[in-house]
A and B are shown apart, each in its own frame.
Chain A
Amino acid sequence: NAGVTQTPKFRILKIGQSMTLQCAQDMNHNYMYWYRQDPGMGLKLIYYSVGAGITDKGEVPNGYNVSRSTTEDFPLRLELAAPSQTSVYFCASSDRKSTDTQYFGPGTRLTVL
């Protein structure tokens, strides 16, 4: 199993550009999450999904959109990138059947200039 994969690893955007961060998991987990982590800070939940077709906002959803058309994929869309969105983005998944361990991807480092 590859676990949780994220692409790209790094990206530089100009202000106002848009992009999609990709996340996929091969563990058949129902729950998936997007977090952002600013330097020296903890993780903040952006959006989460409890299953295909179902998504909900986390703590900091403004400026982002998500979709969940399949169990495996949970892309995060940034519209009109702003410098405040410069961060490291982590995707995670869990099955919530027992301990609800969240498995994290390697992250995407995004810089908006």
Chain B
Amino acid sequence: LAKTTQPISMDSYEGQEVNITCSHNNIATNDYITWYQQFPSQGPRFIIQGYKTKVTNEVASLFIPADRKSSTLSLPRVSLSDTAVYYCLVGDFGSGGYQKVTFGTGTKLQVIP
């Protein structure tokens, strides 16, 4: 089970691009990288998932280098409503059987006006 390491907290001003990096040195060949967002008093919400290179959707981009030992979630031009905890998960979601994944403590992003 791949262990992930993320910064505990980050601050950013409104309108800036925010990059949150997650380390997963022992990622396995079949593992995908998934990011979730959690607002206070709510359950986590899926943001983006990738396997390699770059993935982009309407909310964020995910950059994964060739060695896949880390990944970076990029949030363009953050607003106050992006203040939340962001979790990086690594797991094999494609194979048969279930692999338990852990959410860890995540990165608490505080967007400042």
Chain A positions 28-58 with a Cβ under 8 Å from a chain B Cβ: 31, 35, 40-45, 48, 50, 56, 58
How big is chain A's contact interface, by range? 20 to 34
Count: A-B pairs, CB below 8 Å:
59
Contacts of B105 in A (CB 8 A): 40-42
B2 nearest CB across to chain A (Å): 15
Contact B34 A99 (CB under 8 A): yes
Q: Are B106 and A42 closer than 8 Å at their CB atoms?
A: yes
A104 to B46: give the CA distance in the assembly, Å: 9
B63 contacts the other chain (CB 8 A): no
Instruction: Give the size of the chain B interface in residues (CB under 8 angstroms).
Output: 21
Q: Which residues of B contact A56 (CB under 8 A)?
A: 98
CB-defined contacts of B98 to chain A, threshold 8 Å: 31, 48, 50, 56, 96
Q: Distance (Å) between the CB of B84 and the closest chain A CB?
A: 13
Q: Complex Cα distance A96/B91, Å?
A: 12
Q: A90-B43, A104-B43 are in contact. List 12 more A-B contacts (CB 8 A).
A: A4-B43, A42-B105, A92-B43, A99-B32, A99-B49, A100-B32, A100-B93, A100-B94, A101-B46, A105-B43, A107-B42, A107-B43
